[in-house]
């Protein structure tokens, strides 16, 4: 049992904290998804399906447009995650069935020459606590476990798989003063050629 007093969550990001973030790292189950897993078998081949929130994907695109690197580190190995990561064009993907997330993040940061203080990580449960303790901006989804909540500096209002990642993307980009320009860029990019 964790007897440590809960960390007081911040409600909004200040500009300095937001501008310090160079790398946003996401957990999958319980963050990019609601934590549910559909398992099946087709002709003796195990298949795993997950449901992703499309608004999260657009938020990730805007992060990338802002020059912020995006990574996924998960404690499960799934073709579904590999497909979604490729679709989102994330910069880094680590799937480690032993859930050794912090060593994986340290290796990536060293290779990219990014300090852990310049990382925002979004988690939801015990496998994320080690990373949440070390990064500059520890973030948890609205339905995170108590132990994860106690480690997060920012608790989102939306739940995993239901727009929590998009909520964070918007909070971060608004605090950096970049949201409106990125939204306009997106709208214009989808409006060209139409009459």
Q: Is the pLDDT of residue 14 over 80?
A: yes
DSSP 117: G
Rounded CA-CA distance 25/97 in Å is 17
pLDDT digits (tens, 9 = 90+) for 25-68: 999 999 999 999 888 888 888 888 999 999 999 999 999 999 99
- Computed over every residue of the chain, the mean pLDDT equals 91
Beta-bridge partner residues of 9: none
Q: What pLDDT, on a 0 to 100 scale, did the predictor assign at position 22? A: 98
> What's the pLDDT at 1?
46
The second-level CATH assignment, the architecture, of 19-190 is 3-Layer(aba) Sandwich (3.40)
**For residue 174, what are the contacts with CB-CB under 8 A and spacing of at least 6?**
none
Mind listing the pLDDT tens digit for each residue in 116-168? 999 999 999 999 999 999 999 999 999 999 999 999 999 999 999 999 999 99
Q: What is the pLDDT of residues 89-106, one digit of tens each?
A: 999 999 998 889 999 999
For the chain, the straight-line distance linking the first and the last C-alpha, in angstroms and rounded, comes to: 61
Per-residue confidence (pLDDT) for residue 194, from 0 to 100: 54
Total count of residues recorded for the chain: 195
The label of the residue with tokens 């795993």 reads 48
Q: Where are the domains of the chain?
A: 19-190
Structure tokens at 86: 């490729």
Which residue has 């709208």 as its token pair? 187
């Amino acid at each position: 049992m964790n007897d440590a007093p809960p960390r007081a969550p911040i409600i909004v990001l200040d500009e300095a904290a937001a501008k310090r973030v160079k790398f946003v790292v996401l957990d999958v189950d319980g963050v990019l998804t609601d934590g549910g897993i559909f398992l099946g078998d087709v002709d003796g081949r195990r298949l795993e399906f997950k449901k992703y929130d499309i608004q999260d994907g657009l938020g990730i695109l805007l992060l990338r447009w802002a020059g912020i690197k995006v990574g996924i580190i998960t404690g499960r190995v799934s073709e579904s995650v590999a497909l979604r990561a490729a679709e989102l064009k994330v910069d880094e993907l680590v799937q480690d069935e032993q859930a050794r997330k912090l060593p994986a993040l340290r290796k990536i940061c060293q290779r990219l020459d990014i300090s852990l203080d310049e990382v925002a990580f979004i988690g939801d449960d015990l496998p994320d606590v080690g990373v949440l303790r070390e990064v500059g901006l520890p973030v948890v989804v609205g339905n995170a476990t108590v132990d994860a909540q106690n480690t997060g500096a920012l608790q989102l209002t939306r739940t995993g798989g239901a727009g929590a990642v998009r909520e964070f993307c918007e909070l971060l980009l608004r605090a950096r003063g970049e949201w409106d320009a990125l939204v306009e860029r997106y709208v214009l990019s989808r409006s060209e050629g139409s009459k």
